[in-house]
Chain A
């Protein structure tokens, strides 16, 4: 008995020492610094000059998550004292947290509703809401079909494919649009997003606007057709499409990689996705009326007929207040947003996330909006 007691004491002491040692090792040798030459290239006046410090918290859309990673990284390396956090928790929650004051800025795949603006006014000390369409991303219709890189598709055909009405790649509806392409008789496997997403919202909006007859569903964040192959997030979509044969889906154009992608029918011609086309579609669309000057909300016109535009596009906004009680917060938000809309910031996003840089016209409006941010 005595022996056991002694041994158990040793055990206890031993485990205490082990845990202590583990904690020490862990505390001693970790690093947040990942700048081994890769992220050192961004420091300029656009990023705020380097005199800022403090912490800024944002939350919202996961669509602009990887662009926001690039922006945060660029802004932080230009301003060493700054920490910017962004939680990609989804547009809805991001806006909710922004209105409740839990975060200082939000990212959202849809512009604020009138109700949200009314509530946000209280959060913003009576000031206006700054809403900038900073992340413009064409949505590509991607497919995996041996030997075919490009196809012409119109909205009605896309509707038929995702609706389950068109089931073979050599269906007359597809063949009619693609003269001279030898289509296989492979079965079509449409793949959709299994999580709720802004990409699905924009994709269904585009189909509904162009082919209402073939698409009985309302646009929504949840894909409306039941059944069929699906996957989570853009990366899951790409993985699933790549893994199968005869698969087709919709995804942020930046992630297309080596997959084939469709030209969609705009007016009378077929247009391939491109950052320029997406930016053109945004700048040719109308702004939502009756909003403050700093609130740049755009109703994307899905039925544009100009062949220089690609109206199947996702626009994600960054949202903030014009007025903050805390002077430093105002400075930080202003600095971050100036960097985001600057050509440097937009380039960083284009390179990291493949988004389309905003047009000069949009930049001028956004710059004015950002300059309106001040302390109350």
Chain B
């Protein structure tokens, strides 16, 4: 009974990890760069969504919904605005900070990425930008009993699924489907795969690598923004300028666990991360003698313990290919 409930919660959380992890893995695929600023694009996405939602609510276009379809329809404009703004942000970051360093040592690019991330966090905390106080999304789909569905499993226990969890999972899977289509079926997707396979050879074959890289950054930023809105509007309801740090780290770990550079790997890793976390959160306290260990207090450390274990056992990740470095 609890197993299925934890599984459902895990998939809900995992969906958001997947949306963020995809951005990390795609950028790593084409540039071999850990885009630390990605987690802050996620944060900016949540904030842009918040301001859009507040505006729409003030205009009377956004009201509390209790049906699944109503929830999705009312969330859609918020999400689209936020995705559009974040695509622009992603492109600006790539153009100003990363493109001048295309041929620089990787360490230089990595330090720049961290610098950009900190810059976004610092700027977001300034009082005239977002400020340090938490912001609360207007309610789109309440998480209370009015928008909860009850199921009876066939062995008689009751299962509650809130509608906003369904909206999150549905939206996330829809976006993953669109991404799969872009990467596998369009010309730009083919170019992305080519660049990620061999950067220099792709350039020699007439692919404009700069355009492909910009496109990849935009795509990743759009997914992160969608994740930010889903997280802010439906999961947590309150957002902070530093919310990206935790989520981004865990999503990155998810991408590494799945195999960095691999898109299916990011999906698998994100889901695994969400499900494990939800099981650990739901686990009962363990008593050893007089010592009580409450696993739910250790969830934040969990991701990194998983990471260290994966690095020891299978450094390339679950779906990653182990490529030896050649001279």
Asked if A pairs with B, the answer is no
